[in-house]
Amino acid sequence: MSSRVIVTPVDIEVDGAKCTIVEITSREWIDKRIIYTVSVYCEYAGRRSQIFHLDVTSNEELINKLRVEVAKMKIAIASGYDHLFRQM
């Protein structure tokens, strides 16, 4: 059995936003699936979100869930709710 070590933080770009992965933890479910909890924050248009957590089983699922979070952030900023995010 091989394992891969990822040293955080790791920055990735998702739909024009910079998403910073702060921590990744894993756990095994009773059915033997491995679930990863990813702690991340996103920066967009001079605003930064709080750290939030996503449960994922793959890199593809992580990217898809980050796309949703970035879209919600963009909508909030465009709607005038930019006070929900820290100004950079």
At 8 the pLDDT is 80
Render each residue's pLDDT in the chain as its tens digit; 88 residues: 446 666 789 999 999 999 999 999 999 989 999 999 999 999 999 999 999 999 999 999 999 999 999 999 999 999 998 888 899 8
Distances (CA, A) of 61 to 21, 28, 35, 46, 68: 14, 17, 11, 26, 11
* pTM greater than the 0.85 cutoff: yes
At 1 the pLDDT is 43
